[in-house]
Amino acid sequence: MFADGSSVRPPRTRPGRQALFGAHRFGRSAAYSLGIEEALQILARDGYGLVSKVDEALAELRPNVGDHMKRELYQSVVEISTGSLDRSNGPAAS
């Protein structure tokens, strides 16, 4: 147990210096949260080649899926996700 009451060692700093990576929160969040993400490629109807239609896909689908659909790095890929779930199968507290 450390001075702040946690069992996690705080980041080490030298006098007059800030921690290199800042304070971490390892071991302080709820245990075993789970989130599922899937990346989907957007294909052309003819030939099945990749197409850059992420903006059209988001505009058409966002009213139904809300924030569970996001753009990815490539313009032919969208990501769908569940968000974070805790062990009780409900949305995790943030």
Domain boundaries defined on the chain: 34-85
Answer yes or no: is pLDDT of 20 > 90.
no
Answer yes or no: is pLDDT of 85 > 80.
no
Task: Give pLDDT, residue 52.
Answer: 92
Answer yes or no: is pLDDT of 15 > 70.
no
Q: How far apart are CA 15 and CA 52, in angstroms?
A: 52
Q: How far apart are CA 48 and CA 45, in angstroms?
A: 6
* 4 closest CA partner among 28, 30, 21: 28
28 vs 70, which has greater pLDDT?
Answer: 70
Answer yes or no: is pLDDT of 51 > 90.
yes
Answer yes or no: is pLDDT of 89 > 90.
no
